[in-house]
Structure 1
């Protein structure tokens, strides 16, 4: 039988730390359930000690996930580890993941600790985690730039203290594939008790080598891979799980291993994440990009028509891209829409279904065709993106080519301790979007800096829904907001208000936890 490779997904932790990928609790739970459907073995739900919001999200994921292990990331500190355990203890299969830097540059400049002190901290951290659970993973941060001999000592200490998984991360995307393979082989030979633990690899993509490094490490003996859906993550991102899995799936002659991943769920998982974070899948993205199975060259088209194997090494169906059918329209009933939502992987209660049903019917009156992507966008917008303090009720925008500047009039609802208060405002701007943002900003009493404004079509056609993503900053705080509507200006207002709500929540969390 082929050897088993465990898949550790950190989309909800490392991936969510990347700019523009922030998710709220409902979105994280939705994504966690999709990851469970995908078949990942371990879901790293977050960093519980980072904020109260992160703690609540990890706890909610732990309660929602049934078959996958749920991991909480913790620094090698007792308070972090205890906080992490509180968040994951109700999971069916909880895991504490504690980390400590081991490279000279990190020990000297970040930790300001001696190697001897780091050895003591690693031992103490794992032993403390073992008080809560026997499922403990230890990560040697910046392992790829660490002294190999010292790294082996740290890993030996962690194993002796009780760790069952050792993660050897390429934290800054520095190592080369042949070096990584040699490092894993060295540790397997020199770590005391190496035969008792699973070696894991966590690769970043700063030099574009994350997939190559991960596969090289697997061939050398690593049996757990850590990565994210679509490769999202800090800086240049993490290894893309779908690329590693399909490389092994397509080339079993080179990689005689098996995973628990259901490859037909790869595209649905990538699409779900893309919808949640409001970032489209790049056209040339391997495995799942819009062009991954597209052929324009006449020679290629001719070959594919005769035999797909001439230019395709995998089928679209193998990764879940079987094509979508337009079966939803203005005459569709609630049962058809409910079934479509379930096919897309969402489980909604009757009240949520009623909200989405009304939104689908309203959209169907405005555009000729309603696609799967439209339905999914409405589910995410109406169910998983709650408006906290500010809500858009109505708006009107004027724009012309003459000398009259664009003008926006907005009606908003403000949730206060005494109830819901309706307010109205108006403003001129350099353009219609600028006028909307100025008007809303004045109404809420904030003038944040707009760092990013992006518009994407959810589907094709001139009647497609527009998905708008904005990133704003105010006094050192940043937030991302997304909005979806067949009217791009409405989507822009929704995105800006969502970002303002998140900015308010971030400030509140900082006031509640000033030391974090």
Structure 2
């Protein structure tokens, strides 16, 4: 922004100050979940370029019930026939579980209130959410310089009609909870917001046993989350009959701090939270309930919401809303449990390895860079580490282990990692698990040039217990040969045979093996490291075969062949 443009903006504190000098919220911690209310089907829906049709709204409603929401704002039934018809379908077809309250939103205008109650006819349990704008900016522009008394009169008149119609609905068997929002609460003078809320309370007369909801929306984010917390704490401490109301939050995300504002608002004393899945809403969006709830889960707090199949939730959300969950969106994004950095990959692998060994004795989740176990969200470890030219040795090894069952020796990791990273760099792209396996096989597994192994026979030396003799059919630099050697096992006998041919320019420095998969038909993998006697180079080879003995011999041949290719 140009310096000349900045002059048009005024710091928030110059317009409003919160008289709270002994704030308590900074010393508090969140220890329990709030009451959750999804507004996906109203606030989220009205923000869509193509609003959901009735079938899509019904699928979303069912998803929200499945997740565990007990309060769901289903629409603005006085705004359109589609909204009205959707609510009627929920009621008439018995789609609303007995423990779920549907919520509707309505402006403090008589004909809209009456139309809303028509839509609610026959509902078992509902929340009627009444609102009108109260901020100086709204009074000035939207309501043509109306006075505070004029705006309060709108709220009171609307509340009186809601009270009358709610009584009539309850006489017919419905249970109605009433909710009031001073829209744009966060840029309304705090004492005036309290005054207008108390005026509505005087009409609705809540009790400790039958509370009403006071929703305090940050309709537009104007300032930092700590100021929002001050507003909420001051309101909670000042409003009369605090024990008779649920204080509700409804933050938007214009400054990108909707989640922080909500969490601080809960510290400040709020009881309830309105928001949407993945923060879908006007402008930069509403509060993301998935984010806040899983933040709480990661601190050991049971929220009553079930996001254990987050991929399914993302799929339904994206299909119904035609929106997308960003790759970096907290918890739900495709890449949030992915590490490209080598040091991150290495730390994650070590953390997961330790977790496997200690999960039963120490259930506390402790894995570097992962605040939550992806499996708890229906994600899989296969997607945690992905490989590109910036990846490290630990990430490649992790993919080889989890995707392909190949447990590479630790000292082999740098060698394999460099080759895979070089290939990713050459192709200028990320390599998937199968492509990584292909690179590994091309450079390390069952290599056959210049030396290849054919038939191999082993004979036990009766005259020398513990010693064996091998006869091997090989092709070396295009020539078929039969070679023989002795040793204390198949590999040492084959090394001896190579030495008899004058080809041995190495020392065998390491050998590992393991089975790949389960069952009698599974393969075995072997890894052998050789050191070049001339220059000290250390190189690994891998052999894979149904026979563990042949896998070891193939690993030796692979390492030998790699050693023959001198570095440029």
1:252-271 Cα offsets, whole Å, 9 max, x none, are 5xxxx653212315443232
* Equivalent residue number for residue 136 of structure 2: 104
Identify if the C-alpha distance between structure 1 residues 140 and 74 changes in structure 2 by more than 3 Å, giving closer, same or farther: same
- Measured after TM superposition, the shift of residue 212 of structure 1 is 0.5
1:64 aligns with 2:95: yes
SS state of the match for residue 40, structure 2? coil
1:142 paired to 2:184: yes
1:2/1:258 contact within 8 Å kept: no
Q: Match of 2:63, SS?
A: helix
Compute the TM-score of the two structures, normalised by the length of structure 1.
0.59
Distance 1:281 1:4 in 2: 24
For 2:349 and 2:143, how far apart are their aligned partners in 1?
A: 59
Matched, 1:196 2:228: no
- 2:142 is paired with a residue of what secondary structure? helix
Question: Pairwise CA RMSD of aligned residues?
Answer: 2.1
For 2:156, the equivalent position in structure 1 comes to 123
CA distance in 1, matches of 2:182, 2:88: 25
2:54 aligned with 1:25, yes or no?
yes
Task: Give the deviation of 1:323 after TM superposition.
Answer: 8.2
135-144 vs 151-160, greater mean Cα deviation: 151-160
Q: Is the counterpart of residue 315 in structure 1 residue 373 in structure 2?
A: yes
For residue 114 of structure 1, the aligned residue among 129, 135, 147 is 147
CA pair 299-2 structure 1, distance change in 2 beyond 3 A: closer
CA distance in 2, matches of 1:265, 1:7: 19
Shift of 1:20: 2.7
Q: Which has the larger radius of gyration?
A: 2
Number of aligned positions between the proteins:
321
Q: 1:261-319, CA deviations, whole angstroms, 9 ceiling, x for partnerless residues? A: 12315443232111112233211111100001112222222222221411211012222
- Given that 1:71 and 1:88 are in contact with CA atoms closer than 8 Å, whether structure 2 keeps it comes out as no
Q: Which residue of 2 aligns with 1:508?
A: none
Measure, in 2, the Cα distance between the counterparts of 1:323 and 1:47.
Answer: 42
Structure 1: state its 5+ residue gaps: 325-516
Pick from 298, 315, 318: which aligns with 1:274?
318
Larger RCO: 1 or 2 (CA < 8 Å, sep 6+): 1
- What residue number does 2:469 align with? none
| Whole-Å separation in 1 of the counterparts to 2:253 and 2:298 | 22
Give me the whole-angstrom Cα distance separating, in 2, the residues matched to 1:59 and 1:321.
37
Aligned equivalents of 1:101 and 1:238: distance in 2? 18
The 8 Å contact of residues 143 and 169 in structure 1, kept in 2 or not, is answered as yes
Structure 2 residue 184 is matched with structure 1 residue 151? no
CA contact (8 A) 2:296 2:303 kept: no
How far, CA to CA, are the matches of 1:86 and 1:176 in structure 2? 41
Q: TM-score, normalised by structure 2?
A: 0.54
Structure 2 vs 1, CA of residues 317 and 83 (structure 1 numbering), >3 Å: closer, same or farther?
Answer: farther
| Cα separation, 2, equivalents of 1:2 and 1:46 | 31
Could you tell me how far apart the structure 2 residues matched to 1:6 and 1:21 are?
30
In 1, are the aligned partners of 2:48 and 2:321 still within 8 Å (CA)? Answer: no
Aligned to 2:79: 50
Aligned match of 2:304: 260
Structure 2: tracts of 5 or more residues without a match: 1-29, 167-175, 207-211, 353-366, 383-568
Quickly say closer, same or farther: Cα 1:295–1:91, change in 2 above 3 A.
Answer: farther
